[in-house]
Amino acid sequence: MRIHSLQHVPFEDIGSMASDFRARGYALSTTHWYRGDAVPAVSDFDALVVMGGPMGIYDEAIYPWLADEKILIKETIAAGKIVLGVCLGAQLIADVLGGKVTRNPHKEIGWLPISINPTAAIHPIAQVFARYPNVFHWHGDTFALPSGAVHLASSEGCANQAYVFQDQVYGFQFHLETTPASARALIEHCAEDIDGSHYTQPAQTILASDEKFAQINRAMSEVIAVIFGSEQHP
């Protein structure tokens, strides 16, 4: 299995997912848009992971590669390959599938619980979320649910937190892959986002417990097992 990730800034990579994929013997590759990497061919990979970033999905005048990225995501979905989007990645996928992305009424930064949509509670991904409801957030935008997508989860401050489309495409507004190191990098590069608003937490609260990161990383491992199957093999 060849996993290709799309990275928008130096400090937001696939985090704990890297060790999960390597344990399975999967090959990893990355397009670093911010470095000017070329657009990969859909035939170059078997699954696509679209990561986060501080830019908005409509900022194509500032980041022209966003247009190429949306085309790549659309072509990957059309090819029937697995696509997983985190935060900005979930927003980009939602946009490609016809769900508008807008400013969320609230920023969410830090450790905040999600609630499972009761109508989707039997979905295996929702069951993972139910076991690990306290997750890590860092976002100011949100997505409308694409037509045909299953709404998996919400939070007090954000109605649409996770969706799945045709058991092939997955979008999570929150982060399960974040490690203490990647959280510190977010704080270093995006400290201005922590503005004291209702659903934001200070850096010391975010970094207070390594066990919280371990828990979400376990959740990420379980999600990967659902998406890619429980057997670990090349």
Burial of 211 (0-12, 13-18, 19+ CB in 10 A): exposed
Mean pLDDT of the chain: 96
Q: How confident is the model at residue 234 (pLDDT cuts 50, 70, 90)?
A: very low
Provide the token pair at 193.
């986002």
Topology of domain 2-228 in CATH is: Rossmann fold (3.40.50)
Rounded average pLDDT over 164-180: 98
Query: Rounded distance, CA 195 to CA 161, Å?
Result: 21
Q: Is the pLDDT of residue 233 over 60?
A: no
Q: Where are the domains of the chain?
A: 2-228
Six-digit token pair at 215? 């828990």
Torsion of the alpha carbons at 171, 173, 178 and 183, rounded to the nearest 10: 150
165 and 156 Cβ atoms separated by less than 8 Å: no
pTM passes above 0.85: yes
DSSP-assigned letter for residue 154: E
pLDDT at 156: 97
Distance of alpha carbon 33 from the chain centroid: 17
The set of residues, in sequence order, having a beta carbon less than 8 Å from that of 77 and lying 6+ positions away, is: 83, 93, 96, 97, 165, 168, 169
